Amino acid sequence: MDRHKQGTQCLHAGYTPQNGEPRNIPIVQSTTFRYESSPAMGALFDLEATGYFYSRLQNPTCDQVAAKITALEGGTAGMLTSSGQAANFFAIFNICSAGDHVVAASTIYGGTYNLFVVTMKRMGISFTLVDPNASEEELHKAFRPETKAMFGETVANPALVVLDIEKFAKVAHANGVPLIVDNTFPTPINCRPFEWGADIVVHSTTKYMDGHANGVGGAIIDSGRFDWNKYADKYPGLTTPDPSYHGLVYTERFGIEGAYITKAVVQLMRDFGCSPAPMNSYLLNVGLETLHLRMPRHCENALAVARYLQNHEKISWISYPELEGDKNNALSKKYLPNGSCGVLSFGVKGGREKAEEFMAGLKLASIATHVADAKTCVLHPASATHRQLSEADLIACGISSDFVRFSVGIEDVNDIIADIENALKPL
């Protein structure tokens, strides 16, 4: 285990160059790897030897970057995927089949909602969405005998609801299932969900980890703590022979620390091939090298913007977990004492029309279907990501028509505030 502090891990974890080797993680831009004999290759296919054979499953560049994120989260094994969507899909599908059920927080990101409630439903996996602020008793009621996992986002996109990870973990474990937490917004710099009882962490690395809007990507990290063997009947994919590897049993061969990720790599990556390009993983690593410097700046800037907007006459409401009085402030203080993220949301007085007018007036902040990178950007969900919804549907999913999602970057905060001020002035 890497025992360095996170600021050092951001630079060094996952790759230790030997004498004369490159200091930067090398980009292994190769689909395949050469072996001297068929038996040597065969041992890889039987998972008896470690090594690389085909980049659809694994690639050294990607693995070194995955190892860095694993160290930052404090996990035992990790993998990269080609997107955050792929990470969330794999995280669930690795332990669920048709007929299974998952309990998820209702505030999850819209793309994850579609993946779960529309697409995975077609695969026979059903989801019950629960209010993340529900009591333990209410959460228990959502579980069924066929429930295989519980899921939530540390800080929900765009609702900014902070997950009570301990409460969710307690309920998940009492029902004999792992808690999977999407930790995209705080990143491990601001919260390490394993320390609060989560079992598996997923990321859209597209956001702060990459940090520069260079590449779409995802990651899955295992804490190695969930005892699949204790619930062997529930997780046959991990605890009974896999016919596609001559009857290998993942928990027997790789232990509870390695079974989950190994299965996801050698089975799901093999079959679905959502692997990131080595070049993208390299760029992700460049982003990770400054994650510990960027996150505090994002949070500091976002808090200053939130305080500026809090008392502005043209702003009807504001949501930012670190603001005193915010409904998520108590949970934020507990789980995110050093800051949450750079994303905040607010309403412009006058509704949709004024929100759109405000956005058109911004010069520094760009209108983009993105959040959480170095440059400030802004989105009006009601006319973009949630455009197809009626006013009633918008209200049901917590997106009012005046809702502006503002992703505060790491520019000089005075310039960000001046940009907002100029755009609000003519309204």
Q: Which residues bind ligand PLP (CB under 6 A)?
A: 83-85, 88, 109, 111-112, 153, 157, 182, 184, 204, 206, 216, 218
- Shortest approach of ligand PLP to residue 216 CB, angstroms? 5
Q: Which residue sits closest to ligand PLP, CB atoms considered?
A: 84
Q: 372 with 214: CB under 8 angstroms?
A: no
- Shortest approach of ligand PLP to residue 221 CB, angstroms? 14
Nearer to ligand PLP, 183 or 262 (CB): 183
- Shortest approach of ligand PLP to residue 111 CB, angstroms? 5
CA 104 centroid distance within chain: 14
Contacts of residue 255, Cβ cutoff 8 Å, sequence gap at least 6: 224
Give the integer Cα–Cα distance in Å for 85 and 80: 12
- Shortest approach of ligand PLP to residue 109 CB, angstroms? 4
- Shortest approach of ligand PLP to residue 271 CB, angstroms? 19
Give the integer Cα–Cα distance in Å for 189 and 57: 28
Nearer to ligand PLP, 66 or 315 (CB): 66
Nearer to ligand PLP, 372 or 424 (CB): 372
Nearer to ligand PLP, 58 or 187 (CB): 187
Structure tokens at 211: 């940090």
Q: Could you give phi then psi for residue 105, rounded to 5 degrees?
A: -65, 140
Q: 351 with 402: CB under 8 angstroms?
A: yes
Give the DSSP H/E element, type plus range, for residue 385.
none
DSSP label of 327: T
Give the integer Cα–Cα distance in Å for 192 and 169: 13
Nearer to ligand PLP, 234 or 298 (CB): 298
Nearer to ligand PLP, 109 or 346 (CB): 109
Give the integer Cα–Cα distance in Å for 17 and 294: 25
CA 158 centroid distance within chain: 13
Q: Given the DSSP bridges, would you call strands 101-105 and 179-182 parallel, antiparallel or unpaired? A: unpaired
Give the integer Cα–Cα distance in Å for 409 and 375: 4
- Terminal C-alpha separation, the chain: 55
Give the integer Cα–Cα distance in Å for 370 and 317: 22
Contacts of residue 193, Cβ cutoff 8 Å, sequence gap at least 6: 73, 154, 165, 181, 183, 201
Nearer to ligand PLP, 80 or 130 (CB): 80
Nearer to ligand PLP, 58 or 205 (CB): 205
Give the integer Cα–Cα distance in Å for 264 and 78: 10
- Shortest approach of ligand PLP to residue 154 CB, angstroms? 9
- Shortest approach of ligand PLP to residue 86 CB, angstroms? 7
Nearer to ligand PLP, 85 or 328 (CB): 85
- Shortest approach of ligand PLP to residue 91 CB, angstroms? 11
- Shortest approach of ligand PLP to residue 371 CB, angstroms? 6
